[in-house]
């Protein structure tokens, strides 16, 4: 824990994330809904004042007796500090050499800010368990939080390699972080926090211990309706991305991991190394000529994501692993789906129509705008799942004639024999609802008693009606 009393330890000026801007800024979006975080003591340039703090997205709003100030907290440095005079905890925010400290009783605000800010306590907070992967610029480790014991994934990037890389690679790295911060869906990988040390940058995300969907998708024993629910959840997550103008561009088996290996509905899209976020252009005279080009480009990005996800989901039903790039090339360039068309033709009619709409109709000019939102409205996701064990599938008039009770209270064979032996000796009170000796008042309502009552009533039915019904049973007349 760092104690307040000097700013010599501040590294915001040399931080990789320092963009050269000032700590305090002007608010860009006037529609932000700020939430009150309470009263704090603010220390700024050796002056202490009581202020009110408000938080919205990645902005802090500071209100004192004179004016309001704003801090855009994205990529600012944050450290937990302690006031030496009163032993009160707080946090310090610094950017480009400027710093401000806040002290208060409620520090839950740090939890809300932590995915936007840059911390520097990785070695103290986490213990490395094992290396689980690597690429050109980074290594990936499974780590454990020192206090909670919770497991996470740490993507470790060497700062020197990043500094020596091209501007494109640096921008792509910052883009990945920016996209991760926007993830807010159960089927999208969640960012925990970011740390920066002298040599490395640490991106901490949730640990998806279920592994790749590739093997589980082949071995699953889900019903068709359960598989459709998995499809709905993943298309819903992709819809969330597309509504934010984020296009994954690298959806494949290895980039869909499970939180729980036994539950395909916990599948999450990961790895945003190739993801693209397109800024929304306003329609004005200066950029009118570019709108059509942008629309065509977005349509291609959207198609690529939808096709890739659909091919993977098709595996659930066909039990075949497809070569994603080969199939995608057919879909995007050749406008043909001979590789997989014969596979989905063997599916049930609703599924056949669904994949037909995805793989064929999207290639037609008039249906190019079949986006994820419209896919989620297709008939396949409106099918009502009905329990096949329900008595609603059997006509009520034949319920008394069922040869076997559909009940968890069905008596064992020995109980049946006892029932048959004693049924003729059971004396039941008269069925008269106005009488104080009615069945409800004099007979136990246990399942066994009701069973005996039902069997006795059957024996006193009109023989002709009983004979007719028994014939119907033998003829298997059920609805």
- For the stretch 451-464, pLDDT in tens is 555 555 555 555 55
Cα 160 from Cα 382, distance rounded (Å): 53
pLDDT of residue 389: 46
Residue matched to tokens 């109980």: 415
> 211-381: which CATH topology?
Transferase(Phosphotransferase); domain 1 (1.10.510)
Distance CA(80)–CA(91), nearest Å, equals 4
Q: Which of 106-110, 276-280, 421-425 has the lowest mean pLDDT?
A: 421-425
| Average pLDDT over every residue of 356-362 | 79
Cβ within 8 Å of residue 77, ≥6 positions away: 10, 11, 12, 15, 17, 93, 94, 95, 117, 118, 119, 120, 196
Containing 112, the helix (H) or strand (E) segment is helix 109-113
Q: How far apart are CA 268 and CA 444, in angstroms?
A: 53
Is pLDDT at 128 greater than 70 in this prediction? yes
Residue 73: per-residue pLDDT: 97
Taking 70 as the threshold, does the pLDDT of residue 407 lie above it? no
Buried b vs exposed e over 427-441: b needs ≥16 C-beta within 10 Å? eeeeeeeeeeeebee
pLDDT of 431 over the 50 cut: no
Domains 2-114 and 122-206 alike in fold: no
pLDDT at residue 10, rounded to an integer: 84
Query: Do 374 and 322 meet the contact criterion of CB atoms below 8 Å apart?
Result: no
Task: In whole angstroms, give the CA distance from residue 300 to residue 304.
Answer: 6
Rounded distance between C-alpha atoms, residue 35 and residue 113, angstroms: 13
- pLDDT at position 315 is 92
Query: What pLDDT sits at residue 22?
Result: 95
Question: Per residue in 251-309, pLDDT tens?
Answer: 999 999 999 998 999 999 999 999 999 886 655 555 556 777 788 888 899 999 999 99
State the burial class of residue 77 (Cβ atoms within 10 Å of its Cβ: 0-12, 13-18, 19+).
Answer: buried
Greater pLDDT, 62 or 437: 62
Q: What is the CATH number of domain 2-114?
A: 2.30.29.30
Percent of the chain with pLDDT over 70: 72
CB 78 within 8 A of CB 92: yes
Architecture label for domain 122-206: 2-Layer Sandwich (3.30)
Tell whether the model's pLDDT for residue 405 goes beyond 90: no
* Residue 259, pLDDT score: 94
- Is the distance from CB of 143 to CB of 129 less than 8 angstroms? yes
Could you give the 3-state DSSP secondary structure of residue 230? helix
Of 17, 254, 271, 309, the closest CA to residue 153 belongs to: 271
Please, which pLDDT band fits residue 38 given cuts at 50, 70 and 90?
A: very high
Determine the average pLDDT of the residues in 110-126.
96
Per-domain boundaries in the chain: 2-114, 122-206, 211-381, 393-474
Confidence of residue 312 (pLDDT cuts 50, 70, 90): very high
DSSP 8-state assignment for residue 384: P
Is residue 148 pLDDT above 90, yes or no? yes
On the question of pLDDT at 5 being above 50, the answer is no
Mean pLDDT over residues 226-230, rounded? 93
Mean pLDDT, the chain, whole residue set: 80
Q: Would the pLDDT of 472 be above 80?
A: no
């Amino acid at each position: 824990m760092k104690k307040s009393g000097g700013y010599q330890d501040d590294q915001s000026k040399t931080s990789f994330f320092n963009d050269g801007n000032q700590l305090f800024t002007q608010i860009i979006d006037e529609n932000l809904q700020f939430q009150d975080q309470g009263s704090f003591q603010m220390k700024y340039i050796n002056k202490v004042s009581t202020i009110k703090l408000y938080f919205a997205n990645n902005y802090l709003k500071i209100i004192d007796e004179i004016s309001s100030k704003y801090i855009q907290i994205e990529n600012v440095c944050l450290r937990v500090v302690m006031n030496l005079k009163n032993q009160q905890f707080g946090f310090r925010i610094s950017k480009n050499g400027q710093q401000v400290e806040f002290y208060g009783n409620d520090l839950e605000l740090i939890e809300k800010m932590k995915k936007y800010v840059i911390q520097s306590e990785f070695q103290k907070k986490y213990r490395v368990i094992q290396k689980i992967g690597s690429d050109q610029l980074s290594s990936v480790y499974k780590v454990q939080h020192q206090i909670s014991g919770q497991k996470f994934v740490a993507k470790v990037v060497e700062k020197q390699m990043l500094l020596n890389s091209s501007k494109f690679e640096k921008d792509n790295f910052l883009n990945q972080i920016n996209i991760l911060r926007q993830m807010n869906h159960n089927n999208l990988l969640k960012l925990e926090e970011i740390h920066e040390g002298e040599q490395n940058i640490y991106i901490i995300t949730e640990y998806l211990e279920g592994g790749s969907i590739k093997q589980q998708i082949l071995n699953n024993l889900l019903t068709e309706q359960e598989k459709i629910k998995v499809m709905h959840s993943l298309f819903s997550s992709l819809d969330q991305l597309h509504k934010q103008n984020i296009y994954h561009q690298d959806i494949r088996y290895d980039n869909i991991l499970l939180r729980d290996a036994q539950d395909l509905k916990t599948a999450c899209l990961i790895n945003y190394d190739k993801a693209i976020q397109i800024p929304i252009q306003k329609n004005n005279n200066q950029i009118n000529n570019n709108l059509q080009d942008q629309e065509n480009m977005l349509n291609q990005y959207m198609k690529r994501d939808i096709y890739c996800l659909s091919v993977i989901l098709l595996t659930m039903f066909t039990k075949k692993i497809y070569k994603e790039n080969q199939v995608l090339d057919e879909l995007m360039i050749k406008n043909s789906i001979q590789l997989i068309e014969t596979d989905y033709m063997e599916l049930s009619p609703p599924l056949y129509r669904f994949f037909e709409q995805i793989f064929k109709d999207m290639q037609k000019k008039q249906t190019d705008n079949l986006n994820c939102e419209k896919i989620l409205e297709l008939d396949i996701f409106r099918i009502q799942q009905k329990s096949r064990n329900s008595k609603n599938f059997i006509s009520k008039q034949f319920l008394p004639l069922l040869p076997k009770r559909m009940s968890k209270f069905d008596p064992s064979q020995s109980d049946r024999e006892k029932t048959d032996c004693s049924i003729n000796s059971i004396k039941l009170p008269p069925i008269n609802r106005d009488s104080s000796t009615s069945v409800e008042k004099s007979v136990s309502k246990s399942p066994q008693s009701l069973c005996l009552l039902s069997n006795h009533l059957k024996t006193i039915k009109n023989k002709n009606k009983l004979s007719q019904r028994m014939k119907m049973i033998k003829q298997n007349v059920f609805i």
